[in-house]
Structure 1
Amino acid sequence: MGSIEESQFPPPPNEAVNWTALGSAITEDNGHVECRFDVATGVWSEPTFVKDPYIKVHGLAPGLNYGQQAYEGMKAYRSPTNDINIFRPQYHANRLANSSSCVSIPPIPETVYLNAVNLAVARNAVYVPPHSASALLYIRPVVFGSAGNLGLTPPSEYTFAVYTQPGNAYHGIKPMPAGVMEEFDRSAPLGTGGYKVGGNYAPCIRWQGKARQMGYGLTLHLDSKTQSEVEEFSTSGFIGVRREGDKTTLCIPDSKNIVDSVTSDSIVTIAKSLGWTVEKRKIHYTELRYFTEVLAVGTAASIVPVASIHRPSTDEKFVFNHSGEGSAVNPGPVCLQMSQILLDVQKGVVEDSWGWRTAVTDPDAVVIDVVQQVEEYPEVNEKAQAKQVPELNGEVQVKEVLEVN
């Protein structure tokens, strides 16, 4: 009996995509993944791949009307050996569960989350950029109340979906000027600032547009109560860097009103491995003058060097050593070193010392030669379930779905 030649997984990148010119426009990929939660059964359904970008949802769904929604942002990269790895999916799964609790959405079991993300990336594997490209596959899990429900009460159904999009780092690595947001508070004490829910971000769109008109690429939020403590940028976490001789210290804001940044947590872990000091504490606004570098960090942004921070009401401006604003603006040494280490881990260039990479697996059944299986793996064959598939090239083939304990 002959054997079916296994299709290559993961497949190579789509040759029709210009990986050096990815913009902000949506790329039409192969589809997305959906899971449903039925309140009557109390169970999330198995992930299903849908070959279009649209979700059928009731117009009176609380996800549309009341903001009962939470989301994540993740990355996948292709390694030097063509494997595809997702960066820290378990951390993202836990963070989405935490955000879901904020808006009364049933938590998604980690296994369901991981299987859904794996399926979405696997089915869109041709859109994972080549290893040599300075691009990535962005992954967007989102969960929301989807059944019609006019009252402010839990709906009977929730939908969890996972989308993918090829792209580049949101801001790039060129130092950007930032402005302090003084006309709008992103979060409030005892509010939702620490959760990744859409309602924290939509109001920022207006103010970010105004900030861009004023020449700011980033907007920094201070605490809403006193307007004196640094919290985070509108779409990124804040890290302050102090360098004193050979000593490097990273300062991370400690506030329950900011999102638990996966990128910041990764940078902290790397910094400690390098023997650097990490301080997670309240950071007073006036302390900005003592930082040699400031970094804006996040999944979409990666690590962005902040050239300066300006506060319009006082006209205070703090300039950081990313090389002095002007025609020759370059990232500072800590930004460059940390960016390279993090990217090398994400792209599979170096050993995964912290267990952050999860390989994407083929969701289809394994196809093997039955004769070879019987001869070489008799103990496995006893646990295999075989069924015939259509004749190929004049020979009847057998598809083996291995169920090995």
Structure 2
Amino acid sequence: MNWEKLTFSYTKTNTIICSHYKDGEWSPLESRCDDSISISALSASLHYGIQAFEGLKAYRGKDGKIRLFRPFENAKRLRRSADYLGIASPNQEMFVEACKRVILENIEYLPPYEYRASMYIRPLVIGVGAQIDLVCPQEALFIVAAMPIGSFAGSINRPAKVLLAQDHDRAAPLGSGSYKIGGNYAAAIYAGVKAKKEGYSSVLYLDSAKHEYIDEFSSSNFFAIRGDSYITPDSESVLPSITNSSLMQLAKDSGMSIERRRVKLDELETFEEVGACGTAIVILPVSRVDDKMNKKSYIIGDPDITGERCLYLYKRLTGIQFGEVRDFHNWCLIVEK
């Protein structure tokens, strides 16, 4: 494995962990070497999009210990998404056990500490069983896969430019935007691919009702720094990010005030720093937002230098994840070999 050239992409590893929900109960967790599955072509996950997923990471620490970052929060969020779809989901204990097992069964794919990379863990629940009627599936498949990854989009040391979405929306008010389900991502993937071909790292979405307030990026939350304030949108269409929640706590620990509120688009011009945050990217500093429709660009900070607060929060969070900084909030679960 060439650890220096890891990207955010699929790598075949040893096993995936699976469990089948049927007749009101989950089967025992099972390891499978083949990551292909066999389900009915008429499964609701295929034609009605009945599926939910998560993303979390494991790290090999400075002390040699394996750390899994805040897995119980991911378990709770998966259940929230599954409940929204009306399908079964594993309890927290089963979720975490599956994550620990997939790490240990694929341990040689966990990057060494010195490469500052991680193992990405993808739990998902899909509705299975043949149906054409519009009802919640009575069967579900829970799967957890793991693979080594590098950066998803850009680097903490290279502020990025992003594209403002003005010709389409990601999620509707009171819709499914705050749930981690496949359809929310499907609606933004093509626009994101197109934007990257034009040199942008991500797409920034506004509220779909008025296009006046900032919601989030295509696959990550939005935050901004102004003075001693950490500002992030309060929107019913935004995914409750575990990374953003962690950054808010670290910002508060450092003496900053937290403003979780509606954020008007024109405030972009007043911010000293802006970042995208999420499991895959941790923090991606943003120095420019292009509004092509209105032929306007918002410039934030220095395009060549990451802002002081973004860098501090990034180092603090990754320091906890890699065992370099004391984990005062007990966020990391140590996975014993």
TM-superposed CA distance for 1:168, in Å, is: 1.0
Selected match of 1:133 from 115, 123, 131: 115
2:39 is aligned with 1:64: no
Selected match of 2:210 from 226, 230, 233: 226
**What's 2:251 paired with?**
271
Decide whether the 8 Å contact of 1:308 with 1:318 is kept in 2. yes
Decide whether the 8 Å contact of 2:229 with 2:257 is kept in 1. yes
**What's 2:127 paired with?**
145
Once residues 116 and 45 of structure 1 are traced to their aligned partners in structure 2, the CA distance between those partners, rounded to angstroms, is: 12
Once residues 9 and 136 of structure 2 are traced to their aligned partners in structure 1, the CA distance between those partners, rounded to angstroms, is: 35
- 288-297 or 202-211, which deviates more: 202-211
> Percent sequence identity over matched residues?
34
Decide whether the 8 Å contact of 1:46 with 1:112 is kept in 2. no
**What's 2:265 paired with?**
285
CA radius of gyration, larger in: 1
Decide whether the 8 Å contact of 1:20 with 1:134 is kept in 2. no
Question: 1:317-356 deviations in whole A, cap 9, x for unaligned?
Answer: 11111x23xxxx2211111111100000001112211011
Once residues 93 and 24 of structure 1 are traced to their aligned partners in structure 2, the CA distance between those partners, rounded to angstroms, is: 22
Decide whether the 8 Å contact of 1:68 with 1:103 is kept in 2. yes
- The count of residues paired between Structure 1 and Structure 2 equals 335
Once residues 274 and 241 of structure 1 are traced to their aligned partners in structure 2, the CA distance between those partners, rounded to angstroms, is: 13
**What's 1:400 paired with?**
none
SS of the residue 1:154 aligns to = coil
2:193 is aligned with 1:209: yes
**What's 2:236 paired with?**
256
Query: What pairs with 1:103-182 in structure 2 (closer than 5 Å)?
Result: 103-171=85-153, 172-173=155-156, 174-182=158-166
Amino acid at match of 1:146: V
SS of the residue 2:287 aligns to = strand
Question: Which ranges in structure 1 are unaligned for 5 or more consecutive residues?
Answer: 1-16, 363-405
TM-superposed CA distance for 1:23, in Å, is: 3.0
**What's 2:219 paired with?**
235
Decide whether the 8 Å contact of 1:170 with 1:302 is kept in 2. no
Amino acid at match of 2:68: I
Once residues 295 and 25 of structure 1 are traced to their aligned partners in structure 2, the CA distance between those partners, rounded to angstroms, is: 23
**What's 2:77 paired with?**
95
Question: 1:134-170 deviations in whole A, cap 9, x for unaligned?
Answer: 2110010010101121222233310000011101121
Decide whether the 8 Å contact of 1:63 with 1:146 is kept in 2. yes
Question: Which ranges in structure 2 are unaligned for 5 or more consecutive residues?
Answer: none
Once residues 299 and 204 of structure 1 are traced to their aligned partners in structure 2, the CA distance between those partners, rounded to angstroms, is: 18
Query: What pairs with 1:69-88 in structure 2 (closer than 5 Å)?
Result: 69-88=51-70
TM-superposed CA distance for 1:216, in Å, is: 1.9
TM-superposed CA distance for 1:238, in Å, is: 0.1
TM-superposed CA distance for 1:81, in Å, is: 2.5
Once residues 306 and 22 of structure 1 are traced to their aligned partners in structure 2, the CA distance between those partners, rounded to angstroms, is: 23
**What's 1:306 paired with?**
286
Selected match of 1:333 from 303, 308, 315: 308
Decide whether the 8 Å contact of 1:34 with 1:47 is kept in 2. yes
2:12 is aligned with 1:20: no
Amino acid at match of 1:31: T
Decide whether the 8 Å contact of 2:21 with 2:139 is kept in 1. yes
Once residues 151 and 84 of structure 2 are traced to their aligned partners in structure 1, the CA distance between those partners, rounded to angstroms, is: 29
TM-superposed CA distance for 1:25, in Å, is: 4.4
Once residues 104 and 64 of structure 2 are traced to their aligned partners in structure 1, the CA distance between those partners, rounded to angstroms, is: 13
TM, length-normalised to structure 1: 0.81
Amino acid at match of 1:220: L
TM-superposed CA distance for 1:313, in Å, is: 1.8
Once residues 293 and 5 of structure 2 are traced to their aligned partners in structure 1, the CA distance between those partners, rounded to angstroms, is: 39
Decide whether the 8 Å contact of 2:7 with 2:151 is kept in 1. no
TM-superposed CA distance for 1:359, in Å, is: 1.3
**What's 2:329 paired with?**
354
Once residues 269 and 290 of structure 1 are traced to their aligned partners in structure 2, the CA distance between those partners, rounded to angstroms, is: 23
Amino acid at match of 1:262: I
Once residues 134 and 361 of structure 1 are traced to their aligned partners in structure 2, the CA distance between those partners, rounded to angstroms, is: 20
TM-superposed CA distance for 1:203, in Å, is: 2.0
Amino acid at match of 1:354: H
- What RMSD over aligned residues (CA atoms) do the two structures have, in Å? 1.2
The runs of at least 4 aligned residues of structure 1 exceeding 4 Å deviation read none
